[in-house]
């Protein structure tokens, strides 16, 4: 456990969650994509996708790029489909108006000739990924302002397949029949599209966190906690980790953790902990309601390794094992997400964490490689 000043840690955590950290010696699992399962062109383009996403849109997981392109074109760079907008071309199936807006060259004919930039895989991805990212960022802003529950990544998909007006004009961000000018066929098309991309995300996900990724301990460390029996409250208990408030459930979970592992800051296994916090970029965060804590075993902004990594796994596995007693809703750690409905992947637990289209999963903090996130159900 590396010591870390508590006040500085909480502030740093807030800053790093979205913008990420730079210049770290270690690196996260690469792209989150299993190269053996994707089409050959996707495999060849993975370094480019990762480069563009990391540099220009860290909140967009490369895995979702690979999955959406598969849903759009089957990774056929010359794919063309005619429609009332003049047709869509290339890997992301962009129409000419959107391609021009993304900075591409006009088409000399319809369909575009073989040498058109829209049909060249590298040129297409370098234009299309930032274009898709602009939709993602607009979705993040709209969903946060409107308080809609849809994942920004799903809203990004709706934007691409049906137009962003379907996101802004619907109650949740995903239109039902009769909303946002969407008839039954439109709503069904969107639902099928989301299902297809989600399916490819599952299929193409790397089976473990990546080469050399640590495995979860099989036996939890720490004593068995006494089950929380209430009362269920709002955010009414003072948060000792940095101001704000906690629910009675979260406060109990924090105290149980301290009993199991020592002080919540400058302890033998925990350098610092931050619970209540504002999260203006995420309407679904449990921090503002006092139902979540971030537990840092080492130093923020660095990939946990050695003793810090082992401590983090002990804490995460302990919360998982006693989730029922402590009313744990979900956990995020080492780029993995777990809740009680999640099926484990062999070699580790939970499923890959996507960041929800908000957080940069390729850095230590956004990907939760430097801290364990614990959300409580009430």
Q: How far apart are CA 15 and CA 6, in angstroms?
A: 15
119 and 258, same domain (yes or no): no
Q: 3-state secondary structure string, 1-69?
A: CCCCCHHHHHHHHHHHHHHCCCCCCCCCCCCCECCCCCCHHHHHHHHHHHHHHHHHCCCCCHHHHHHHH
Euclidean distance between CA atoms 366 and 264, whole angstroms: 21
Does the residue 33 lie in any domain?
no
Average pLDDT over residues 198-222: 64
Predicted pLDDT of residue 206: 77
Among 157, 179, 204, where does a domain finish? 204
List the CATH number of the domain containing 150.
1.10.530.10
What pLDDT is attached to residue 28?
A: 42
Across the chain, mean pLDDT equals 86
Burial category of 123 from C-beta neighbours within 10 Å (exposed 0-12, middle 13-18, buried 19 and up): middle
**pLDDT for the residue 116:** 98
User: Mean pLDDT throughout 119-131?
Assistant: 98
Q: Are residues 262 and 175 in the same domain?
A: no
Helix, strand or coil for residue 199? helix
Question: Quick one: which of 155, 142, 130 has its CA closest to 65?
Answer: 130
Whether the per-residue pLDDT at 54 is higher than 90: the answer is no
Whether residue 255 is found in the same domain as residue 337: yes
Average pLDDT over residues 213-239: 78
Residue with tokens 């996403």: 53
Residue 11 pLDDT class (50, 70, 90 cuts): very low
Domain boundary among 204, 228, 252: 204
Average pLDDT of 120-124? 98
> Residues 45, 160: one domain?
yes
Comparing 19-28, 33-42, 169-178, the range with the smallest average pLDDT is 19-28
Provide the pLDDT confidence category of residue 215 given band limits of 50, 70 and 90.
low
What does each C-alpha distance from 262 to 203, 244, 292, 311 come to in angstroms?
Answer: 41, 22, 19, 12
Full residue range of the structural domain in which residue 362 is found: 6-24+213-376
Q: Is residue 133 over pLDDT 50?
A: yes
Task: State mean pLDDT over 127-143.
Answer: 94
Q: Which of 139, 172, 204 is the last residue of a domain?
A: 204
Indicate if 63 and 182 belong to the same structural domain: yes
Q: How many residues does the chain have?
A: 378
The residue among 223 and 18 whose pLDDT is bigger is 223
The confidence band for 329, taking pLDDT boundaries of 50, 70 and 90, is very high
Q: What's the pLDDT at 281?
A: 62
What does the pLDDT average to over 34-41? Answer: 94
pTM of the model: 0.64
**Arithmetic mean of pLDDT, 37-43:** 96
Q: Which residues contact 64 (CB under 8 A, 6 or more apart)?
A: 153, 197, 201, 354
Domain shared by 51 and 18, yes or no: no
Report the pLDDT value the prediction gives residue 230, as an integer from 0 to 100: 85
Chain mean position to CA 75: 24
Q: What is the pLDDT of residues 149-181, one digit of tens each?
A: 888 999 999 999 999 999 999 999 999 999 999
pLDDT (0 to 100) of residue 149: 84
Tokens 């704000």 sit on residue: 244
If pLDDT is split at 50, 70 and 90, which confidence band does 283 have? low
pLDDT tens digit sequence for 231-265: 999 999 999 998 899 999 999 999 999 999 999 99
Q: Is residue 244 part of a domain?
A: yes
In a domain, 326, yes or no: yes
Rounded to 10 deg, the angle between the 184-204 and 152-162 helix axes is 130
DSSP string over 245-260 = EE-HHHHHHHHHHHHH
Predicted local distance difference test score (pLDDT) of residue 83: 84
Number of domains in the chain: 2
**Three-state DSSP string of 109-148:** CCCCCCCCHHHCHHHHHHHHHHHHHHHHHHHHHHHHHHCC
Average confidence (pLDDT) over 325-331 = 95
DSSP three-state, residue 332: strand
Residue 205, pLDDT score: 82
Token look-up 């089409």 returns 39
Is 70 exceeded by the pLDDT of residue 30?
Answer: no
- Tokens representing 255 are 């105290």
Q: Is 31 inside any structural domain?
A: no
Do β-strands 245-246 and 336-339 pair in parallel, antiparallel, or remain unpaired? unpaired
- Asked if residue 361 has pLDDT above 70, the reply is yes
Q: Residues 258, 358: one domain?
A: yes
What pLDDT is recorded for position 212? 37
Q: Is 300 inside a domain boundary?
A: yes
* pLDDT tens sequence across 101-119: 999 999 999 999 999 999 9
Determine, yes or no, domain membership for 29: no
Percentage of the residues of the chain whose pLDDT score is greater than 90 = 64
Residues 195 and 219 grouped into a single domain: no
Q: Give the separation between CA 226 and CA 58, rounded to whole angstroms.
A: 41
45 and 19, same domain (yes or no): no
Residue 221 has pLDDT above 70, yes or no: no
Structure tokens at 112: 């575009």
Residue 179 and residue 221 share a domain: no
Angle between helices 184-204 and 62-73 (to 10 degrees): 130
**Is residue 32 in a domain?**
no
pLDDT greater than 80 at residue 23? no
Clarify whether residues 138 and 52 are in a common domain: yes
Asked if the structure places residue 105 within a domain, the reply is yes
Q: Which two tokens stand for residue 266?
A: 């400058």
My answer on whether 55 and 16 are in the same domain is no
Of 185 and 3, the structure prediction assigns the larger pLDDT to: 185
The answer on pLDDT for 210 being more than 70 is: no
């Amino acid at each position: 456990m590396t010591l870390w000043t508590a006040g500085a840690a909480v502030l740093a955590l807030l800053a790093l969650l979205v913008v990420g950290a730079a210049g770290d010696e270690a690196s996260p699992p690469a792209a989150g994509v299993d190269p053996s399962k994707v089409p050959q062109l996707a495999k060849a383009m993975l370094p480019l996708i990762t480069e563009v996403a990391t540099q220009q849109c860290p909140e967009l997981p490369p895995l979702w790029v690979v999955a959406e392109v598969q849903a759009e074109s089957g990774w056929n760079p010359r794919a063309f489909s005619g429609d009332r907008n003049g047709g869509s071309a290339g890997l992301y199936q962009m129409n000419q108006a959107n391609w021009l807006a993304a900075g591409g060259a006009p088409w000399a004919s319809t369909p575009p000739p073989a040498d058109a930039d829209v049909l060249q895989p590298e040129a297409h991805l370098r234009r299309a990924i930032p274009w898709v990212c602009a939709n993602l960022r607009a979705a993040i802003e709209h969903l946060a302002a409107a308080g809609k529950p849809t994942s920004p990544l799903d809203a990004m998909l709706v934007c691409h397949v049906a137009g962003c007006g379907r996101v802004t004009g619907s109650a949740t961000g995903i239109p039902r029949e009769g909303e946002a000018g969407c008839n039954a066929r439109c709503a069904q098309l969107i639902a099928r599209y989301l299902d297809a991309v989600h399916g490819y995300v599952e299929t193409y996900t790397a089976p473990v966190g990546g080469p050399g990724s640590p495995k979860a301990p099989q036996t939890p460390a720490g004593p068995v906690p006494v089950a929380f029996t209430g009362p269920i409250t709002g955010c009414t208990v003072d948060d000792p980790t940095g101001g704000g408030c906690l629910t009675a459930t979260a406060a109990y979970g924090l105290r149980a953790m301290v009993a199991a592992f020592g002080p919540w800051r400058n302890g033998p296994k925990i350098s610092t902990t931050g619970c209540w916090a504002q999260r203006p970029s995420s309407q679904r965060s449990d921090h503002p309601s006092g139902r979540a804590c971030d537990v840092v075993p080492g130093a923020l902004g660095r990939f946990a390794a050695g003793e810090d990594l082992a401590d983090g796994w002990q804490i995460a596995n302990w919360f998982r094992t006693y989730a029922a007693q402590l009313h744990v809703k979900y956990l995020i750690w080492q780029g993995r997400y777990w809740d009680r409905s999640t099926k484990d992947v062999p070699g580790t637990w939970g499923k890959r964490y996507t960041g929800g289209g908000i957080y940069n999963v390729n850095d230590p903090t956004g990907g939760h490689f430097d801290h364990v996130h614990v959300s409580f159900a009430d």
